[in-house]
């Protein structure tokens, strides 16, 4: 009953000055709109840039590095056990790049429920022969389906069908740059020479464009089988295991764990790409700073308008107090006014913010660096809408707080005697 009366009075004061109210509400609407649009857009861009790397980078990569043995034979000798042994010119031992005991490792990983999926891979150096010239290149042998499922391989195959890589024997998807250099069209057969001198003809079934032109000039993809055949290795020859986790935050810890468990090299995404996190963080920080600044400016607008309203309504405040409304009631009336401006303006701002984001989402954005992006990226995260509404309420509350306190302190005697 009491709140209804206060709401009633507040509403009447609001409607009596509806033009001022509207200006104040538009201020909030505008700032919330910009806040939502800005954050959605910024966060969309962030996600896009991150995904450029994250989507293609395994959370943990297991591989075998050829290193000199850490334990030299002389250390096993009983005779020289208590000596310092200086050995010069140590060479790596002759061993393959393949991960040993691959079947057991894959089985163990499949049982680990922190792991989302595994995509095995073979990386090998090759030469593409064009006439008399040899171009250096890298062929990635991949499990086509797993690669597509976990690393969105399809998105980067700009011409041809990615699945043809699996279905056509001895096929290759060339990097766009490499294909241009060789003038190889889809359906052509190109010659590839391995580092051991084996030569093999491969049929081009598509082009691949990563967005990073240096990569596109050298990299190509073939299926695991084709690559194993090319290298003359058996079908358990795998050089890399790309692991995608359910929770990316566990990557550094799990990389360490796997390194010990499987006796292989393991690198996690955080260590490999730490600069991305910094960039993302700074961009997010800037967008929040701008958004909150907008809201604070709108808050000052509300503050001014409420202050003006109080000066205009001194008589009304005085008589309300004279007839038995306490300072607290008057305070509540003005807080109510401020909050309703905040709620009304804020809600409208959320709607317009969504509209503006949707509009930006339609603006064409073509860049050769990002073959999959056609329009500006937008992140429609409910989080921004929540933060926007909470902040609009907070700023309007504080903008209303001081004028309301002033109104509650109005001395009716001064006003009434002043007439």
What helix, strand, coil percent values describe the chain, rounded to 5?
A: 55, 15, 25
Binding test (CB under 8 A) with another protein, winner from 122, 320, 335, 341: 320
Binding test (CB under 8 A) with another protein, winner from 81, 83, 199, 328: 328
Going by the DSSP 8-state scheme, the letter that residue 364 receives in this structure is: B
Nearer Cβ to another protein (5/282): 5
Verify binding: residue 318, another protein, rule CB under 8 A.
yes
Verify binding: residue 133, another protein, rule CB under 8 A.
no
Q: 10 Å Cβ neighbour count for 310? A: 21
Q: 10 Å Cβ neighbour count for 139? A: 26
The span from the CA of 117 to the CA of 147, in Å, is 10
Dig out the tokens for 139 from the structure.
């062929």
Verify binding: residue 308, another protein, rule CB under 8 A.
no
Binding test (CB under 8 A) with another protein, winner from 90, 261, 285, 319: 319
Verify binding: residue 316, another protein, rule CB under 8 A.
yes
Verify binding: residue 19, another protein, rule CB under 8 A.
no
Verify binding: residue 327, another protein, rule CB under 8 A.
yes
Nearer Cβ to another protein (4/93): 4
Q: Which stretch binds another protein (CB under 8 A): 25-33, 85-93, 290-298, 312-320?
A: 312-320
The strand pair at 115-130 and 189-194 is best described as antiparallel
The strand pair at 199-208 and 171-175 is best described as parallel
The span from the CA of 142 to the CA of 140, in Å, is 6
Min dist. Cβ of residue 380 to another protein (A)? 41
H or E element in which residue 140 lies: strand 133-142
Q: Which stretch binds another protein (CB under 8 A): 64-72, 77-85, 327-335, 340-348?
A: 327-335
Verify binding: residue 197, another protein, rule CB under 8 A.
no
Angle at 362 between CA 357 and CA 365, to 5 degrees: 110
Verify binding: residue 324, another protein, rule CB under 8 A.
yes
Site residues (vs another protein, CB under 8 A):
1-2, 5, 8-9, 12-13, 15-16, 315-316, 318-329, 411-413, 416-417, 419
């Amino acid at each position: 009953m009491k709140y209804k009366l206060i709401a009633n009075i507040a509403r009447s004061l609001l409607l009596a000055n509806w033009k001022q109210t509207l200006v104040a509400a538009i201020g909030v609407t505008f700032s919330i709109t910009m806040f939502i649009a800005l954050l959605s857009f910024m966060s969309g861009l962030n996600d896009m840039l991150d995904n450029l790397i994250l989507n293609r980078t395994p959370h943990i990569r297991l591989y075998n590095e050829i290193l000199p043995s850490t334990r030299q034979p002389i250390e096993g000798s009983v005779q020289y056990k208590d000596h310092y042994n200086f050995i010069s010119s140590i060479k790596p031992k002759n061993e393959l790049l393949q991960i040993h005991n691959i079947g057991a490792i894959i089985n163990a990983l499949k049982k680990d429920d922190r792991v989302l999926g595994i995509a095995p891979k073979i990386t090998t150096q090759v030469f593409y022969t064009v006439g008399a010239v040899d171009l250096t290149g890298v062929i990635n042998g991949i499990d086509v389906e797993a690669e597509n499922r976990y690393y969105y391989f399809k998105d980067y195959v700009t011409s041809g069908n990615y699945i043809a890589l699996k279905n056509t024997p001895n096929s290759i998807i060339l990097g766009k740059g490499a294909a241009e250099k060789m003038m190889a069209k889809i359906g052509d057969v190109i010659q590839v020479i391995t580092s051991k001198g084996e030569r093999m003809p491969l049929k081009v079934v598509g082009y691949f464009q990563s967005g990073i032109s240096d990569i596109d000039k050298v990299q190509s993809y073939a299926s695991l089988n084709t690559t194993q055949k090319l290298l003359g290795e058996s079908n358990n020859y795998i050089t890399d295991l790309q692991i995608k986790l359910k929770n990316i935050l566990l990557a550094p810890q799990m990389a360490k764990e796997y390194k010990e468990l499987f006796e292989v090299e393991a690198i996690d995404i955080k260590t490999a790409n730490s600069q991305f996190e910094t960039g993302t963080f700074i961009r997010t920080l800037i967008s929040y700073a701008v958004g909150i600044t907008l809201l604070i400016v709108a808050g000052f607008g509300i503050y001014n308008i409420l202050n003006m309203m109080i000066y205009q309504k001194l008589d009304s405040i005085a008589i309300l107090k004279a007839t038995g409304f306490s300072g607290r009631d008057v305070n509540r009336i003005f807080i109510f006014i401020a909050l309703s401006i905040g709620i009304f303006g804020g809600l409208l701002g959320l709607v317009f913010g969504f509209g503006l984001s949707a509009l930006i989402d339609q603006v064409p954005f073509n860049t050769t660096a990002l073959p999959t992006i056609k329009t500006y990226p937008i992140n429609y995260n409910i989080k921004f809408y929540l933060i926007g509404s909470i902040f609009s309420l907070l700023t309007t509350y504080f903008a209303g707080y001081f004028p309301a306190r002033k109104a509650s302190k109005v001395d009716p005697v001064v006003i009434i005697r002043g007439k």
